[in-house]
Amino acid sequence: MNLTRRAFLQLSGASAMAGGWPLGSRPRMVFRPAGYDLAGDILISVFLRGAMDGLSAVVPHAEARYHQLRSSTRIPDPDQTDGAIDLDGFFGLHPALEPLKDIYTQQDLAIVHASGSPHPSRSHFEAQDFMERGAPGDTSVRTGWIARHLDSMTSTNDSPFRALGWGNLQQLSLFGPVEALSMKSIEAFNLNANETEAARVKVALQAFYGGESELDTVGQKIFSSFDFLTEANPAQYEPQHGASYAETGFAQGMKQIGQIIRANMGLEAVAIDINGWDTHAAQGGVQGPLANLLQELAGGLSAFYTDMQDDMHRITVVVMSEFGRRAQENASKGTDHGHGNAMFLMGGGVNGGKVYGAWPGLADEALDRGDLAVTTDYRTILSEIVKKRLLNGHLSLVFPNFQQTAFLGVVEDRALSFDYRQFLPNIW
């Protein structure tokens, strides 16, 4: 019997409700610090800037046309050396994504292929802007979809860590009326001075922002965040369950996001990026620049998943990119700007172990200007996450002027799902 982690939790939950735990087992109790009690999942949005090649990441290895279009960048069939990691007989993962296969098998990872924005732009900046604002083609929308989600929720969460942008610049998806902190590391989140000088400057600035204006309120929240981090002491955090994070920027970012989640500091949404996906030349196949990026992505997600096992039931990770690459490789053994792509979803509430979406095929007549066609609007996937996992039904506010279509069933409805942990106060 192939017992997945999801099935085990369902069985153990049923046993607990019946008055006992499975014979010979004991529940692992991980004590949770007192703090914020969030209604929905914690959202982690991972943006792959530069346009990931979804046809190399999630390979349609069973379609002969794929191999014809990609003579030098193709990934071999699963039964060949360094071949794709088969998922369902038709699609396979790039070998560099091998760490994600176990999560897929555990049904906590799902893929939506031929997904993306309906807007035809092949401009990185324009496509990213439209996608993060959640309103493709509508230049009148100036706020981000995550910010609108948080603003439309009825919430008493006043934590300065409610929304977090990880990196050097705050992501457009967080732009809006809800204040979002920006940080590139926990260690760097300070006044950039020695301890004595930092204390003196902090006192002076707190006095400066001691009023009741909106600017004063923002300043006060930022200063309180220093105290939050000091009290939680996340710098002393050690990964759990044998998780090992690489020294890459993305993996270390996911590690520190995990620290903040486990410290229960009121985090509801965080955006984090991986740059460098614009592979016009010398893209490589099994090895090369693209493979290195995919390895960084998979390593960071896998380590985070292992580390956060006890919390994955309340975390949803979504991975997306502004558009895909052209179906046919170019003369420089790379791929140019395309359209349709693949999205990844990871979490305890994900109906994983499946590749979703209507596959349009790679025949000439099926391509969109030479690109993989988009058959699933990315907002359909995000809307399902917002409603079912983040428990926000105000979809018309989060994604204005979007004609909602039927959900694909990529996530479970948190409001309807049973979780035995709720009967164990202050423990998971």
pLDDT tens profile 145-165: 999 999 999 888 988 899 999
Domains (range + CATH), the chain: 34-185+246-423 (3.40.720)
pLDDT at 341 (0 to 100)? 98
Band of pLDDT at residue 207, cut at 50, 70 and 90: low
pLDDT-based confidence at 271, cuts 50/70/90?
very high
Report pLDDT digits (tens) over 418-428. Answer: 554 444 444 43
109: confidence class by pLDDT, cuts 50, 70, 90: very high
Does position 361 have pLDDT exceeding 90, yes or no? yes
Tokens standing for residue 346: 């990871």
Nearest-angstrom CA–CA distance, 184 and 424: 35
Task: Tell me which residue has tokens 């979504």.
Answer: 318
Using 50, 70 and 90 to split pLDDT, how confident is the model at 247? very high
- How many Cβ atoms from other residues are within 10 Å of residue 125's Cβ? 9
pLDDT digits (tens, 9 = 90+) for 44-99: 999 999 999 999 999 999 999 999 999 999 999 999 999 999 999 999 999 999 99
The alpha carbon dihedral of 113, 117, 120, 126 has a sign of negative
Reported as a pLDDT band with limits 50, 70 and 90, residue 209 is: low
Residues of the chain with pLDDT > 90, as a percent, come to 71
Q: What pLDDT score was predicted for residue 37?
A: 74
* 192, 196, 199, 205 alpha-carbon torsion, rounded to 10°: -70
- How far apart CA 238 and CA 425 sit, in angstroms, is 24
| Contact criterion met (CB below 8 Å) for 303 and 244 | yes
309-333, pLDDT tens digit by residue?
Answer: 999 999 999 999 999 999 999 999 9
String of DSSP letters for 26-86: -----B--S----SSPEEEEEEEET---HHHHEE-TT-HHHHHH-TTTPPPPTTSTT--EE
Does residue 1 surpass a pLDDT of 70?
no
pLDDT at 30: 34
Q: Is the pTM of this model over 0.75?
A: yes
In DSSP terms, which residues pair with 320 in a beta bridge? 47
Helix segments in 97-194, DSSP class H:
101-105, 124-133, 145-152
Return the higher-pLDDT residue of 234 and 417.
417
> If you average pLDDT over residues 210-237, what whole number do you get?
62
Q: Which two tokens stand for residue 337?
A: 């700007």
φ and ψ of 139, to 5 deg: -75, -10
Read off the pLDDT of each residue in 209-220 and give the average, rounded to a whole number.
Answer: 61
- What is the reported pLDDT for 217? 60
Residues paired with 427 in a beta bridge? 31
